[in-house]
Structure 1
Amino acid sequence: MDNMAIKRVLALMLLWMATISFSFLSFAGVAQPLSATTDIAIQDIDIWRAVDAQSHSVPTSIAAMQGLYQSATPIKTSLANQSGAYVARLQLSSQTLRAASWFIRINANFVDKGLGFWQSDQYANTGVIKFSQHEDIDTPKLMHNQAFELALSQQESGYLWLYIKAEHYALPLSIEIINSGSFFQKQFITNAVTLFSIAIMLTLAAIALTLYIKTRLVVTLACSAYIGLHGLGWAAASGLIDDLFNLQHINTTYLGMVIFPFAIAAASQFTKLLFNLDTLHRNLAKLFNGVSIICLAFGLAMPLLSFSIAFAISHIIALLWVPLAIVIGYKMLMYRDFRAKYYLLGNLLYGLSLLYYILSHSNIITGQLHAELVVLLALAGDCFCILLSLAAWLQQKKQDYSRAYYQARIDPLTHIGNRYALSEALAQVDKQYIIAFIDYDGFKQINDKLGHDQGDAFLCYGAKTMTNALDHKGEVYRTGGDEFVWLLKDHLPKDMGVAVADIERLIRQCEHALQAKWPQSGISYGIAHAQESTNQSECLALADKRMYQHKRSKDPSSVNA
């Protein structure tokens, strides 16, 4: 055979092989050799065929699957953001010299129906493999995705048939074939990060709810709803709720998107209450009230809409909420609001991760297989920051309360307890106590002759002198003008007569100290103890009466002095 004839034969053989290869590729795709050290990632373009949703029935055998595949329409684009039923056929060939298990991971968050069939070239065909959220009882749990095990004998080959149906494919419907070592590592990381993040969120929500039960402050309830609804939403979207409760009649992964608007409604109210917008920035308060109302309306309407629309609405809400939260956090930080630093940091973390998550669901960036984990970790950090902002708010409220409590019960001139503080102290005394009612003599003359500044100095010096004289034995209260009350309830001797005598001695010492600086001054007093009356009010009235008796005994004309 001459060289020209050889070339013609080779050309015909190549043409024949190319024709056979083309027809094979158009039907089954390139055979995928499986080795123990290599994982295979198959993009969704050219492997799926669309099934007519109206005319087909769910395949129950390989023969039914073959017929469905032949009648289906080949898809030349990505299935990201699509919906419906699709079938695929993959040719696989195990290159290992022993039996091995492989794991088929379908990159789909929401799966209503998932079926797999293995058609072996060497062995009897296996039964149907079910991997949807409704029927994944016997499949390995991999959150955010669906996966099933395919056990192959040594050097076994054949075809893997796949059928999948969902209301929405958030990502390209790629397929990953993973050896057991890689799969279990991926499963551990994915599930551990997911469980850790959700546990953090639900724990923080429980802490905020406990604070609400103790304080009854609405801001703590809004914080609990903000964090808790995000945690519950991701528990649903990741498949955790379905795995825990094995629900067969509802696909709980869809609930994550339905819950999200309610979480943002709670976040909006929390923001309004955290920064006291109702009082300080009323227009912003109206804005956040409007956001809450709109989100609640969408949340209530979502169950009536198709999931694709609900999915889009949730993403639009996220795109609007994140910049709004960041702007309000920055604005409050410019007002030097101490809570804003935690709020802004948390929302920056969440916002950047959410942007990454949304872009991974678009055609802008593809192949981001861990977008959910990034969002979960960032959201857990955000929730922690939100709780820190709430803690700062509560700390400030505590300080404000302490300041108001102090101002309401402390006399601003003498810095000792006032009438309200005395009433509280009297309500807490036990059976053994002594009350001394003090009224200064000559106070009006000091004000009239020396001026009110000297009068104030006289009152302050007297209060300090009496407090030092009592030391740890009791407290001094200013009940008005130049009237003071001593309340002794601790360290009293058993003999009340001795105790009263000791108090009279202390009062005389205070009087001498006052007269050393203001000779025209003096002290009138009355003393009563618990055993002389039936209650505290009676005892106080008796001490007051004796004080007036003492004042009259010194000089009847000084009663009103």
Structure 2
Amino acid sequence: MILKRILLLLILTSMTSLPSELEAALSLEHSSDNTNKITTTALTSSNPAASLALNHLSNTTIADIDIWRHINQEAALPITSLTQWEHLYQSSSPITQSLVNQSGAYIGRIALTNRQPHADNWFIKFNANFIDTGIAYWQSAQGNQGQWFTFSQLDDAGNPMLLHSQVFELTLNQQESGTLWLYIAAKHYALPLTVNISSSPHFFKQQFITNSVTLLAIAVMLTLALIALMLYVKTHYRVTLACAGYIGLHGVGWAAASGFIDDMLNLESVNSTYWGMIIFPFAIAAAARFTQLLFNFERLHKPLATLFNGLAILCLLLGLTLPLLSFSAAFTVSHIIALLWVPLAIAVGINMLVYKDFRAKYYLLGNLVYGLSLLYYMLSHSHIITGQSHSELVVLAALAVDCVCILLSLTAWLQQKKQDYSRAYYQARIDPLTQIGNRYALSEALKELTTNYIIIFIDFDGIKRVNDRLGHDQGDELLRYGARLMSTTLNGQGQVFRTGGDEFVWLVSTTDSIASTQLIDELAALLQQCHTALTTKWPMSGISYGIAHGQEGRNQSECLALADQRMYQHKRAKTSVFP
């Protein structure tokens, strides 16, 4: 019976095109209780998929075509016995090409031997982002009790946390050997389904690098998104909200795709790693909207505004549609969106940089870095580049750089907006002829006054005669000179405003009513100095003024009206006034 089974195994092996010398010889012996006792003897081979001798420096990656055989997922589960493992394996055919962009259920086995003089631990890692079901069974050749393991996103409690992959820990006794049986099922294999077997030092180093880079990149993105969101709350600018969506959705998407959300929430009914591809179209929709608002295409370039608004709407519709499609289709659609977005964003950045747009340098740099990483990422998910186990880390690091650059471009936009606002504010409150405050500035200054202040209403005499006899240029020069003269004469004691034509107002704060009386006399002397200086250059000119204290009126308006009234009284009382 034993010889018959060995011959049958050799025939099946030759039919599946696997070298027979690479397979372990299985010996089945019937015990008295009619149960099968399995003994595995690993044969010497250069193929690591058949037999691996493990030591404290082991770090071996086995290609997927050396391990896996395709099986029917529905017929396979649940796997409850070693006999079932053997039947599934022997009745299946080996794969003939890498499992990149494939889906379904696969079964495999690896012969392992612990060459350590003591018991030791090894970590079995699967190069797959999306795993719905993962089951492993260790069959010891020494007759030890077998060990069962699970390593899917839905059932990985107790396994070491390694983002972007699934892993479980296998403990082998001194010189123990046997067969590791594997079953895996997923809706999509984005990368070659290799298996890495590493010792503790190698694994913990890889775990530290992978988790650190991933968590740091996600933390950077979410922090920057929060900053942009806070800016939106403060400013209500739509571009800040679009920026928060652009950065934040990328961060949340990668937190899901890497398995971080699953590990933190310990989800058992939903595989959250699939969410990353579904969230991606929404992130690009926000990116398109952000680009349109950042460069003000609505006002400066209508066709580009239409293009980016249309792209944003298309991505939103695709994002809503993807959950209804198979994940393989959703994966393909998301990659097509990336292929469209990256060159478009880079082209826009280059175009705006040609026009010396201050925001384009950050925008272009970020999208160049991100675009190159996405190109590398997509190629690693194809048959063009294989064996890349850190493509996600490259994209995450590049995306973090991109998000920093995007926020810098937003910062530049806000700085320009602030400058535009300051310029508009200045122009709205500064008289363009005399470069002193105008009526709007006076209104704001009056609101800030308390009861202790002095208002002086001033009217230039003879301005019409200067215009008629000397020309309007001289009339303008008179106003400019008079404004400079009054500002210099007041010497920081108060403010000077031009409220219209040839009318000016002085605002002077005081400490108390006693000091105000003395200050009024001082201000009257200063006004007389200004009058003398003006008549020296323009003999037909001069100034008339009226002074009022804040306590003379119930409010600033009454005090200003009183000063205006006294100015007219002063003008009429003067003996030498030009009409």
Q: Distance in 2 between matches of 1:261 and 1:293?
A: 10
TM (norm. structure 2) is 0.91
Whichever residue aligns with residue 326 of structure 1, its letter is I
Partner of 2:376: 356
CA RMSD of aligned residues (A): 1.9
Q: Distance in 2 between matches of 1:176 and 1:55?
A: 27
Alignment check: 8 A CA contact 1:205 1:224 kept = yes
Partner of 1:85: 105
1:308-319 equivalences in 2 (<5 Å)? 308-319=328-339
Partner of 1:424: 444
Q: How many Å apart are 1:123 and its aligned residue?
A: 4.1
Alignment check: 8 A CA contact 1:52 1:72 kept = no
| 1:120 and 2:127 are equivalent in the alignment | no
Partner of 2:20: 23
| 1:506 and 2:526 are equivalent in the alignment | yes
Alignment check: 8 A CA contact 1:33 1:93 kept = yes
Determine helix, strand or coil for the equivalent of 1:114.
strand
Could you tell me which of 368, 389, 404 is aligned with 2:409?
389
Q: Distance in 1 between matches of 2:19 and 2:460?
A: 113
1:464-503 equivalences in 2 (<5 Å)? 464-489=484-509, 494-503=514-523
Alignment check: 8 A CA contact 1:45 1:77 kept = yes
Partner of 1:6: none
| 1:42 and 2:62 are equivalent in the alignment | yes
Cα shift readout 1:7-38 (whole Å, capped 9, x = no counterpart): xxxxxxxx99x99x943536785211112223
Q: Distance in 2 between matches of 1:386 and 1:58?
A: 49
Whichever residue aligns with residue 53 of structure 1, its letter is Q
Partner of 1:11: none
1:80-229 equivalences in 2 (<5 Å)? 80-229=100-249
Partner of 2:541: 521
Alignment check: 8 A CA contact 2:137 2:180 kept = yes
Alignment check: 8 A CA contact 2:242 2:289 kept = yes
| 1:536 and 2:556 are equivalent in the alignment | yes
Question: Which deviates more, 424-433 or 255-264?
Answer: 424-433
- Percent identity among equivalent residues? 61
| 1:290 and 2:287 are equivalent in the alignment | no
Q: Distance in 1 between matches of 2:513 and 2:365?
A: 60
Whichever residue aligns with residue 117 of structure 1, its letter is Y
Partner of 2:7: none
Q: Distance in 2 between matches of 1:145 and 1:344?
A: 32
Q: 1:208 to 1:526 in 2, by over 3 A?
A: same
Deviating runs (4+, > 4 A) in structure 1?
26-29, 490-493, 555-558
Could you tell me which of 64, 82, 86 is aligned with 1:62?
82
Partner of 2:394: 374
Q: Distance in 2 between matches of 1:54 and 1:542?
A: 95
Cα shift readout 1:51-102 (whole Å, capped 9, x = no counterpart): 1134332213333322222233321211111111111011111111111100
Determine helix, strand or coil for the equivalent of 2:64.
coil
Alignment check: 8 A CA contact 1:120 1:157 kept = yes
Partner of 1:262: 282
Q: 1:93 to 1:490 in 2, by over 3 A?
A: farther
Q: 1:396 to 1:492 in 2, by over 3 A?
A: farther
Q: 1:490 to 1:174 in 2, by over 3 A?
A: farther
Q: How many Å apart are 1:556 and its aligned residue?
A: 10
Could you tell me which of 433, 454, 469 is aligned with 2:474?
454
Whichever residue aligns with residue 412 of structure 1, its letter is P
Q: 1:494 to 1:163 in 2, by over 3 A?
A: farther
Q: How many Å apart are 1:492 and its aligned residue?
A: 6.6
Question: Which deviates more, 209-218 or 117-126?
Answer: 117-126
Cα shift readout 1:310-367 (whole Å, capped 9, x = no counterpart): 0000000001100000000000011110100000000000000000000000000100
Partner of 2:566: 546
Partner of 1:406: 426
Q: Distance in 2 between matches of 1:61 and 1:528?
A: 103
Q: Distance in 1 between matches of 2:275 and 2:554?
A: 66
Cα shift readout 1:515-537 (whole Å, capped 9, x = no counterpart): 11111111111111110111111
Alignment check: 8 A CA contact 1:493 1:499 kept = no
Unaligned runs of 5+ in 1: 1-14
Cα shift readout 1:423-459 (whole Å, capped 9, x = no counterpart): 1111111221110000011111111111111111111
Whichever residue aligns with residue 242 of structure 2, its letter is A
Q: How many Å apart are 1:499 and its aligned residue?
A: 2.0
Determine helix, strand or coil for the equivalent of 2:193.
coil
Partner of 1:235: 255
Q: How many Å apart are 1:476 and its aligned residue?
A: 0.3
Alignment check: 8 A CA contact 1:473 1:490 kept = no
Partner of 2:360: 340
Determine helix, strand or coil for the equivalent of 1:495.
helix
Alignment check: 8 A CA contact 1:478 1:485 kept = yes
TM (norm. structure 1) is 0.94
Partner of 1:5: none
Alignment check: 8 A CA contact 1:528 1:540 kept = yes
Alignment check: 8 A CA contact 1:131 1:148 kept = yes
Q: How many Å apart are 1:504 and its aligned residue?
A: 0.9
Determine helix, strand or coil for the equivalent of 1:263.
helix
Cα shift readout 1:459-482 (whole Å, capped 9, x = no counterpart): 111101100111121000000111
Q: Distance in 1 between matches of 2:424 and 2:55?
A: 74
Q: Distance in 2 between matches of 1:125 and 1:259?
A: 45
Q: Distance in 1 between matches of 2:335 and 2:408?
A: 27
